[in-house]
Structure 1
Amino acid sequence: MKSPVLTESAAAQFACDGFAVLPNLYTHHEVAALLQAVENAPVSGPNFRRSQEVFAIRNLVGEVPELWPLLATEGLHTLLGQLFPEGCHLAKAIYFDKPAGSNWLVAWHQDLMINVDQRAALPGFGPWTSKPEGVSVQPPVAVLENVCTIRIQLDDCDATNGALKVVPGSQQRGVIPATEIIHFTATATSCAVPAGGAMLMKPLLLHASNRSTSDRPRRVIHLEFSSMELPAGMQWRERQPAVV
């Protein structure tokens, strides 16, 4: 029997607060291999964004397919088996690099949009956005509640280089109007995660990050998993099977 990756206390925190930190999901050797694969990736096309302040790759597994076998370690398989006993699939994958000295912040928000293959006239889905990389939509809350985000830290991350701040329990409030978010942030906490560690979070959890004040980078692989299939006429745009 595989040893659990998600301990009872972390599982309880994830269920109640909407987030939990797993400090040792990937080894230093595995992190180095992930970084090398990203460094070797091409940097052109609508899914790539590079500037002095940010480097991002959307549809990460599609753009850098050699990453998937490196990500799909026994540790990740065990974790997904705990989170989704009936099985799941990858729904979204993004790489973020907040380079040393980057001076941008991310305001308080919830992750409300999912990536889909096309527009469809389905009740409860909307608003929609269309960008060069594809179509996204805000789905019904039940879809968002089924998603689990796993943020894999490729560098030690704390408050000085853009660690996430979260509002524990805010995922239980459903979709929070932008004008009301300020009323929840007094209870925010910062989530330090070591390199090779991961942060679990629910998309409806309020989160933000400050400007970096150190010379250390903050490189993250952001993976979203779901066990739900979308209604007929729509598919997850980045769907990838996850064997657990």
Structure 2
Amino acid sequence: MTPTATPALAHQLAATGYATLPALYPAAEVAALLACLDAAPAAGPNFRRSQDVFAIRNLLGEVPALWPLLDTPALRGLLGELFPAGCHLTKGIYFDKSAGSNWLVAWHQDLMINVDRCAADLPGSGPWTAKAGWVAVQPPPEVLASTVTIRLHLDDCDATNGALKVVPGSHLGGVVPPEIIAAHTATATVCVVPAGGAMLMKPLLLHASNRSSSDRPRRVIHLEFSDVELPEGLVWCERREVL
């Protein structure tokens, strides 16, 4: 990453809702991240492992040794450009889409955040859900607008092994009712990202992914960051100060 690349990246992110950064972590750092994930005890309610799915939710809570490996000068430089006044991490997930864990993700927006408690009478928030020890809510629009997702790719990723498809600019239209999402996907594009690269996206960007048709894995660390506080004293369950 060069100093001149990041402002252009931030501009593309604002305009289209996504951007790709080909080299955020070098090969040796990717190998260290994979070794750390492989050493994690894959058991507990935040681990989903079946023929179709392997994922780890509350990733940094379950695998705390990952954060020192992720928290590099390159990541901090990127976050400093995206959030000049500072930010905090709000969510971490690990996805492993491979021949043994292969699933289709339909078109959707990322509308829900995980919080510490339910405040069902909070204006501008809802619906609320509670399951498996988590409380989730669709927050006010300004919270989603402030959030940036960084998807760190640990493998080369293209259309054959489940790369994300996105609809450029769809984040600018607010929440799209599920029944009309299909009508907005004609301009979809596939996001090809090499190992060590990152895809940046806004939560309201329409996105989906196909099943993999390749034997190659598609392992991704999904991190969400924000620079705003939640209303009424709510707290993100996975909040971690970064800058």
Please state how far the C-alpha of 1:241 moved relative to its aligned partner.
Answer: 0.8
Query: In the alignment, which residue of structure 2 is the partner of 1:26?
Result: 25
2:146 maps to 1:178: no
Query: In the alignment, which residue of structure 2 is the partner of 1:123?
Result: 123
Deviations 1:94-124 (A, max 9, x none): 0000112544210000000001011013111
Please state how far the C-alpha of 1:180 moved relative to its aligned partner.
Answer: 1.1
Confirm or deny: 8 A CA contact 1:152 1:197 kept in the other structure.
yes
Structure 2, unaligned stretches of length 5 or more? none
Confirm or deny: 8 A CA contact 2:6 2:81 kept in the other structure.
no
> Residues of 1 paired with 2:3 and 2:56: CA distance?
31
Query: In the alignment, which residue of structure 2 is the partner of 1:162?
Result: 162
Please state how far the C-alpha of 1:53 moved relative to its aligned partner.
Answer: 2.4
2:42 maps to 1:47: no
Please state how far the C-alpha of 1:55 moved relative to its aligned partner.
Answer: 1.2
Deviations 1:18-48 (A, max 9, x none): 0000000001100011111111111111111
Please state how far the C-alpha of 1:129 moved relative to its aligned partner.
Answer: 1.1
Q: Size of the alignment, in residue pairs?
A: 242
Query: In the alignment, which residue of structure 1 is the partner of 2:81?
Result: 82
2:183 maps to 1:151: no
Deviations 1:184-228 (A, max 9, x none): 100000000000000000000000001110101100000000001
TM-score, structure 1 as length reference: 0.96
Confirm or deny: 8 A CA contact 1:13 1:19 kept in the other structure.
yes
Confirm or deny: 8 A CA contact 2:6 2:78 kept in the other structure.
no
Greater alpha carbon shift after TM alignment, 27-36 vs 49-58: 49-58
Confirm or deny: 8 A CA contact 1:114 1:136 kept in the other structure.
yes
2:69 maps to 1:70: yes
Structure 1, unaligned stretches of length 5 or more? none
> Residues of 2 paired with 1:215 and 1:124: CA distance?
44
Partner letter of residue 82 of structure 1? E
Aligned-pair RMSD on alpha carbons?
Answer: 1.4
Please state how far the C-alpha of 1:8 moved relative to its aligned partner.
Answer: 3.6
* Aligned-pair identity (%): 68
> Residues of 2 paired with 1:239 and 1:5: CA distance?
30
Greater alpha carbon shift after TM alignment, 94-103 vs 169-178: 94-103
